[in-house]
């Protein structure tokens, strides 16, 4: 078990290279899902499976939609600046 723990800890010292292409934005989805799950686990006083899943899905969708809107806003601002 010690070898497995050492391997897991060592994997954090060499991050996975993520490119700058549009496909690399797909890494946003698991990160947003993890944030939504952890946030709801800490904020709900009583966790019922159906309610928890609904709350996580709503928060996940909200995070993704607002980040997309912010990205479109940045593109628009850079377009206006470069006119």
Q: Which residues of 66-83 are buried (b: 16+ CB within 10 A; e: fewer)?
A: eeeeeeeeeeeeeeeeee
Residue 48 φ then ψ, to 5° = -105, 135
pLDDT in tens, 13-47: 777 777 888 888 888 899 999 999 999 999 988 99
Q: Is residue 47 part of a domain?
A: yes
Q: Is residue 59 part of a domain?
A: yes
Q: Which residues of 3-15 are buried (b: 16+ CB within 10 A; e: fewer)?
A: eeeeeeeeeeeee
Look at residue 61 in the predicted model and tell me its pLDDT.
Answer: 97
Q: Is residue 16 part of a domain?
A: no
Q: Is residue 15 part of a domain?
A: no
Cut 0.85: pTM above it:
no
Q: How far is CA 2 from CA 14, 62, 73, in A?
A: 19, 40, 48
For residue 73, the enclosing domain spans 26-83
The total number of structural domains in the chain stands at 1
């Amino acid at each position: 078990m010690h070898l497995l723990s050492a391997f897991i800890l060592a994997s954090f010292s060499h991050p996975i290279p993520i490119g700058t292409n549009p496909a690399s934005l797909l890494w946003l989805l698991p990160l947003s899902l993890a944030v939504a799950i952890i946030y709801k686990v800490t904020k709900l006083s009583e966790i019922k499976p159906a309610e928890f899943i609904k709350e996580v899905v709503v928060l996940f969708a909200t995070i993704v939609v607002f980040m997309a809107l912010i990205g479109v806003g940045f593109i628009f601002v850079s377009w206006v600046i470069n006119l």
